[in-house]
Amino acid sequence: MKGNGTIKMVCYSDMNVEQLEKEREGLLKAFEECKAMGLKLDMSRGKPGSEQLDLSNPMLDIDLGGSGFKCSQGVDIRNYGILDGLKEAKELISAMIDMDPENIMIFGNSSLNIMFDTVARSFTHGVMGSRPWCKLDNVKFLCPTPGYDRHFAITEHFGVEMIEIPMTPDGPDMNMVENYVNNDESVKGIWCIPKYSNPQGITYSDETVRRFAALKPAAKDFRIFWDNAYVIHHLFNGKEEELLNIYDECVKNGTEDMVYIFCSTSKVSFPGGGIAAMAASKANLEYVKKNVTFQTIGYDKINMMRHVLFFKDKNGLMEHMKKHAEIIRPKFDAVMEVLDRELVPLGILKYTKPNGGYFISVDVPEGCAKKVVAMCKEAGVVMTGAGATHPYKNDAKDTNIRIAPTYPSLEELKKACEIFVLCVKLASVEKYLQ
Amino acid sequence: MKGNGTIKMVCYSDMNVEQLEKEREGLLKAFEECKAMGLKLDMSRGKPGSEQLDLSNPMLDIDLGGSGFKCSQGVDIRNYGILDGLKEAKELISAMIDMDPENIMIFGNSSLNIMFDTVARSFTHGVMGSRPWCKLDNVKFLCPTPGYDRHFAITEHFGVEMIEIPMTPDGPDMNMVENYVNNDESVKGIWCIPKYSNPQGITYSDETVRRFAALKPAAKDFRIFWDNAYVIHHLFNGKEEELLNIYDECVKNGTEDMVYIFCSTSKVSFPGGGIAAMAASKANLEYVKKNVTFQTIGYDKINMMRHVLFFKDKNGLMEHMKKHAEIIRPKFDAVMEVLDRELVPLGILKYTKPNGGYFISVDVPEGCAKKVVAMCKEAGVVMTGAGATHPYKNDAKDTNIRIAPTYPSLEELKKACEIFVLCVKLASVEKYLQ
């Protein structure tokens, strides 16, 4: 990459027009050179790389017939039966999310699907006896922002009014959350990724979790959708973060019916070939089971058993996650090194360093995110669409971009970062020249 | 078993009170003896036996890494991607149901779940642009009866008004079907199991299929739910039945958007560990995909590939089904032999001999079904609940009972049949004595 280093880390905001124009000239030249290279790189997708997938290959050859295909409940895992999942699979998920196995139900391969079905069920049948949401004039969800586009897509699909709640370093702005939840009966839910959040990698503080558990919702059918997607997905960089157990806090407040907890092994074993689970109060689970009885005879117990035999216990899970981290930590480090070296000192990029999860969320100067993503695309680098992290894909300040470092190889990633850096500089310099 | 053979096959209806009372005496004695044996037998569940499951065990050890886990579309089957299923899985299902792979979408492990979701989606989002059913005052489904309890349970769960359509040896009474569908705009669907139907084992005649395809629904969003659950599930007794391809017939009539076809490998490979599919017109599939995008990132492609590599093609599937038939045909034969010997000649049981599927449906004298099932239970034999084959579990004549011969061993089955025979006789004799 050329065109860098001519300016000795002077903030763009401190440059005069002449300096900015000179900077732009060099950047444009570099940009044209990049385009000419015809690259095809991708930093858009929160997908494990193939090296990570290889870690779980032995699971595919595991001997399932050892105990005559019988689970601890005496049922043949190859046949119908056991709607709520194998006891031993509940124990495995229990080790992962620190919930009593009796408060866990195992589903199919996708926690997103469980969340979708949970929203759909609330629309068609209500929540534990409440009026079905499809019969209501107005259903609102709180959306901590930036957040996960597929969460927002579900509620948008059902015509839910989505309300942005700004994220802070401690989690969602709890003053706003309390104000909405405790006063507005049409607020029926909130999307949360409480640990290593998508995209910022923020873990909610103990205080935030306690304030969630202490909510006094105006709506009896208000639920916290606690998507603990990255519960054991540390980068193992010596800064492993702890999340307070919301269910325990809820029990203390007598609000345990207020929270649904979701998780999966999609980024532990195989995306699409993992197992997913929901944890909740007995009352919630009973209601869910009563409804799911109509939906299916049961989920894939064979795949549940594969996971049980492969991971065995908490220790097995954590050792496995360390291997994932060995592969992806250098990728995260590479991205952050470039951002810290090339963009942060220029005052044109802010971000929080994540200690786990799958993403790095950055804020470029206001009004520049779409332009940066478009320029990256022109130069052969696919980024997550600007705005994707916001409800209705509407980032009013046009500032947030999500970087997904796991899927490309380290070499590809470094190349893609160079181009990203160039595009952020170019978009920024043009902004300052306006 | 005692108490039989004293009456030389005189119809109960031709007996006088004295004969009936003598018969009852013998039967009651035998019944008490049975109860004393403390048996625990089960003819209630349409589940494969473990010998059948063993047939597919090699699938669990199949080498999936041969082509670097890449499918024909170049995607890693272990990772996210390909919402509508592997191309090669579509080809396998195509071989099973004789539909163009491009008209097929592969889902998770349960066709029932696809059907549930299809109904749920119609309620929340409508059908290809129609008004969501949850906004309508009245939604009706036609229910060919006797039928599959889990079908009826779905529509009951959604508050659909279910209308019984009597089954004939050619399928549902098409005069009634045409009358309802072509004139009543609130009729939105019909549940069909067109081949080796559950429970009667009836395959719809060509004429019936053609009349289905020629329907002119009053409701634009009317759909035929064509659950081809037993499409290749012949007993291979030399009487394999052919079902006319409804989609081809619909194309001739320009009604191809009117039918959803469902199938799965639940009773080919593993219940719960199989793959399920939906086949439909491109317009229907596009609409489904557009909606499913919100529900999941994708289904289990690893399990799809297992099925592809194990069954390979139509020939592989059919050879496999022949092995199933070798195991279950003797069970069907044993049941029918007993019915034909002990009950049919007495004029107290009618049934049609199935040539495939999973059930034998019998009609006992009116008002006796519940009593028979209760007596069986008392004597240690679990039968499917009387009425289960009817919408709202309401068999007005109290006459139909579903027998599921596949799960017990042949020996257990024979024992269970003896007890069933005894209970039918006892209930019948008491009816005639009233």
DSSP code per residue over B113-135: HHHHHHHHHHHHH-STTSPPGGG
Tell me, yes or no, whether B1 lies in a domain.
no
Å between B115 CA and nearest CA of chain A: 8
B315 burial (CB, 10 Å; 0-12 / 13-18 / 19+) is exposed
Tell me, yes or no, whether B64 lies in a domain.
no
A272 at the B interface (CB within 8 A)?
A: yes
Instruction: Say if residue B108 is in the same domain as residue B251.
Output: yes
pLDDT given for residue A66 in this prediction: 86
Largest separation between any pair of C-alpha atoms in chain B: 78
Å between B323 CA and nearest CA of chain A: 17
B66 burial (CB, 10 Å; 0-12 / 13-18 / 19+) is exposed
At B211, the pLDDT band (50, 70, 90 cuts) reads very high
Contact B408, B41 (CB under 8 A): yes
B45 at the A interface (CB within 8 A)?
A: yes
Evaluate if residue B387 carries a pLDDT over 80.
yes
Between chain A and chain B, the number of residue pairs with CB atoms below 8 A apart is 160
CATH number for the domain spanning A241: value is 3.40.640.10
Cβ separation of A109 and B108 shorter than 8 Å?
Answer: yes
Å between B291 CA and nearest CA of chain A: 8
Give the DSSP H/E element, type plus range, for residue A262: strand A259-264
Q: How far apart are CA A255 and CA B184, in angstroms?
A: 47
Cβ separation of B80 and A272 shorter than 8 Å?
Answer: yes
Instruction: Say if residue A328 is in the same domain as residue A304.
Output: no
Instruction: Say if residue A343 is in the same domain as residue A285.
Output: no
Q: What percent of chain B has pLDDT over 90?
A: 96
A67 at the B interface (CB within 8 A)?
A: no
Instruction: Say if residue A251 is in the same domain as residue A124.
Output: yes
Q: How is residue B37 written in tokens?
A: 């044996």
Question: For the segment B303-358, what is each residue's pLDDT rounded down to a tens digit?
Answer: 999 999 999 999 999 999 999 999 999 999 999 999 999 999 999 999 999 999 99
Q: How far apart are CA A350 and CA A364, in angstroms?
A: 7
Tell me, yes or no, whether A6 lies in a domain.
no
Helices (H), B254-313: 282-292, 301-311
Cβ separation of B297 and A65 shorter than 8 Å?
Answer: no
**Window 142-161 of B, Cβ < 8 Å to A:** 150, 153-154, 157-158
Residues of B in contact with A262 (CB under 8 A): none
Residues of A in contact with B116 (CB under 8 A): 294-296
SS3 for B152?
helix
Backbone φ and ψ for B201, nearest 5 degrees, come out as: 75, 20
CA of B49: which chain A residue's CA is closest? A79
Q: How is residue B243 written in tokens?
A: 């079902």
CA of B272: which chain A residue's CA is closest? A300
Question: For the segment B112-133, what is each residue's pLDDT rounded down to a tens digit?
Answer: 999 999 999 999 999 999 999 9
Cβ separation of B299 and A65 shorter than 8 Å?
Answer: no
A112 at the B interface (CB within 8 A)?
A: yes
Instruction: Say if residue A399 is in the same domain as residue A255.
Output: no
Instruction: Say if residue B98 is in the same domain as residue B221.
Output: yes
CA of B298: which chain A residue's CA is closest? A272
CA of B75: which chain A residue's CA is closest? A50
Residues of A in contact with B81 (CB under 8 A): 272
Q: Which of A53, A79, A302 sits opposite B78 (nearest CB)?
A: A53
Q: Which of B76, B117, B294 sits opposite A157 (nearest CB)?
A: B294
Tell me, yes or no, whether B142 lies in a domain.
yes
Tell me, yes or no, whether A123 lies in a domain.
yes
Task: Kindly give, in sequence order, each residue whose CB lies less than 8 Å from that of residue B167, ignoring residues fewer than 6 positions away.
Answer: B144, B145, B146, B147, B173, B197, B200, B202
Contact B261, B97 (CB under 8 A): yes
Instruction: Say if residue B36 is in the same domain as residue B167.
Output: no
Instruction: Say if residue B226 is in the same domain as residue B362.
Output: no
Q: Which of B53, B79, B110 sits opposite A271 (nearest CB)?
A: B79
Cβ separation of A65 and B78 shorter than 8 Å?
Answer: no
B434 at the A interface (CB within 8 A)?
A: no
Q: Which of A124, A297, A303 sits opposite B134 (nearest CB)?
A: A124
A110 at the B interface (CB within 8 A)?
A: yes
Å between B102 CA and nearest CA of chain A: 22
Instruction: Say if residue A237 is in the same domain as residue A251.
Output: yes
Q: How far apart are CA A11 and CA A9, in angstroms?
A: 6
Q: How far apart are CA A302 and CA A275, in angstroms?
A: 11
Tell me, yes or no, whether B3 lies in a domain.
no
How is B37-104 classified by DSSP, letter by letter? TT--EE-------HHHHHTTGGGGG---TTTTTB-TTS-BTTSS--TT--HHHHHHHHHHHT--GGGE
Q: Cβ–Cβ contacts within 10 Å for residue A344, how many?
A: 16
Which of A40, A42, A60 to substitute to test the interface with B, most B CBs within 10 Å?
A60
A114 at the B interface (CB within 8 A)?
A: no
Residue A362 to residues A149, A370, A392, Cα–Cα distance (Å): 16, 13, 19
Å between A392 CA and nearest CA of chain B: 14
Instruction: Say if residue B301 is in the same domain as residue B187.
Output: yes
Cβ separation of A134 and B120 shorter than 8 Å?
Answer: no
Q: How far apart are CA A287 and CA A292, in angstroms?
A: 9
Interface confidence, given as ipTM, is 0.96
B264 at the A interface (CB within 8 A)?
A: no
A13 at the B interface (CB within 8 A)?
A: no
A227 burial (CB, 10 Å; 0-12 / 13-18 / 19+) is buried
Cβ separation of A272 and B112 shorter than 8 Å?
Answer: no
Structural domain for A81, as ranges? 69-312
Instruction: Say if residue A214 is in the same domain as residue A340.
Output: no
Contact A148, A193 (CB under 8 A): yes
Cβ separation of A60 and B302 shorter than 8 Å?
Answer: yes
CA of A154: which chain B residue's CA is closest? B294
Which of A109, A116, A135 to substitute to test the interface with B, most B CBs within 10 Å?
A109
Q: How far apart are CA A4 and CA A26, in angstroms?
A: 8
> pTM for the full model?
0.96
Q: How far apart are CA A200 and CA A197, in angstroms?
A: 5
Q: How far apart are CA B27 and CA B5, in angstroms?
A: 11
Task: Kindly give, in sequence order, each residue whose CB lies less than 8 Å from that of residue B165, ignoring residues fewer than 6 positions away.
Answer: B142, B143, B144, B145, B172, B173, B176, B177, B180, B190
Q: How far apart are CA B411 and CA B418, in angstroms?
A: 11
Question: Which of B143, B224, B138 is CA-nearest to residue B189?
Answer: B224
> Among residues A288, A312, A336, which one ends one of the domains?
A312
Contact B109, B275 (CB under 8 A): yes
Backbone φ and ψ for A123, nearest 5 degrees, come out as: -70, -40
Output DSSP code: residue B342. I
Residues of B in contact with A117 (CB under 8 A): 295
pLDDT averaged over every residue in chain B: 96
CATH number for the domain spanning A386: value is 3.90.1150.10
Task: Kindly give, in sequence order, each residue whose CB lies less than 8 Å from that of residue B290, ignoring residues fewer than 6 positions away.
Answer: none
Tens of pLDDT along chain A (434 residues)?
444 444 467 899 999 999 999 999 999 999 999 999 999 999 998 999 999 999 999 999 999 998 899 999 999 999 999 999 999 999 999 999 999 999 999 999 999 999 999 999 999 999 999 999 999 999 999 999 999 999 999 999 999 999 999 999 999 999 999 999 999 999 999 999 999 999 999 999 999 999 999 999 999 999 999 999 999 999 999 999 999 999 999 999 999 999 999 999 999 999 999 999 999 999 999 999 999 999 999 999 999 999 999 999 999 999 999 999 999 999 999 999 999 999 999 999 999 999 999 999 999 999 999 999 999 999 999 999 999 999 999 999 999 999 999 999 999 999 999 999 999 999 999 999 98
Instruction: Say if residue B128 is in the same domain as residue B255.
Output: yes
Q: Which of A116, A296, A303 sits opposite B110 (nearest CB)?
A: A296
> Among residues A293, A312, A331, which one ends one of the domains?
A312
CA of B56: which chain A residue's CA is closest? A78
- Whether residue B199 has a cis bond before it, omega within 30° of 0: yes
B134 at the A interface (CB within 8 A)?
A: yes
Cβ separation of A154 and B45 shorter than 8 Å?
Answer: no
How many separate domains does chain B show?
2
Q: How far apart are CA B181 and CA B212, in angstroms?
A: 10
Cβ separation of B297 and A272 shorter than 8 Å?
Answer: yes
Cβ separation of A65 and B60 shorter than 8 Å?
Answer: yes
Tell me, yes or no, whether A186 lies in a domain.
yes
> Among residues B312, B329, B352, which one ends one of the domains?
B312
Q: How far apart are CA B161 and CA B321, in angstroms?
A: 37
Tell me, yes or no, whether A61 lies in a domain.
no
